[in-house]
Amino acid sequence: MDNERVILAIGRIERALSRIESASSTMEANADAALEARHEALKAEMKQAIRTIDGLIERQEH
């Protein structure tokens, strides 16, 4: 009887670990997508800042 309870408990633990691993993979994919979006936004902001600086330098030269 005790062995059966242990086997059932191990099965529940294995299923829980499987769910945790699946959730972790999904969270990592979402985090990667969010990081990529932040990176693209930062690149766009940096490009705009460089254009602004270039414009200021050009005005100073003329």
* DSSP secondary structure letter of residue 8: H
Q: How far apart are CA 26 and CA 34, in angstroms?
A: 12
Q: Does this model's pTM top 0.95?
A: no
Say what percent of the chain tops pLDDT 90: 40
Q: How far apart are CA 33 and CA 41, in angstroms?
A: 12
What is the predicted pLDDT for the residue at 26?
A: 76
Chain-centroid distance, C-alpha 44: 19
What is the predicted pLDDT for the residue at 1?
A: 56
22 band by pLDDT with thresholds 50, 70 and 90:
confident
Residue 62 has pLDDT above 80, yes or no: no
Tens digits of residue pLDDT in 46-59: 999 999 999 999 88
For 61, the token pair is 């030269």
Q: Can you spell out the DSSP letters for 12-46?
A: HHHHHHHHHHHHHHHHHHHHHHHHHHHHHHHHHHH
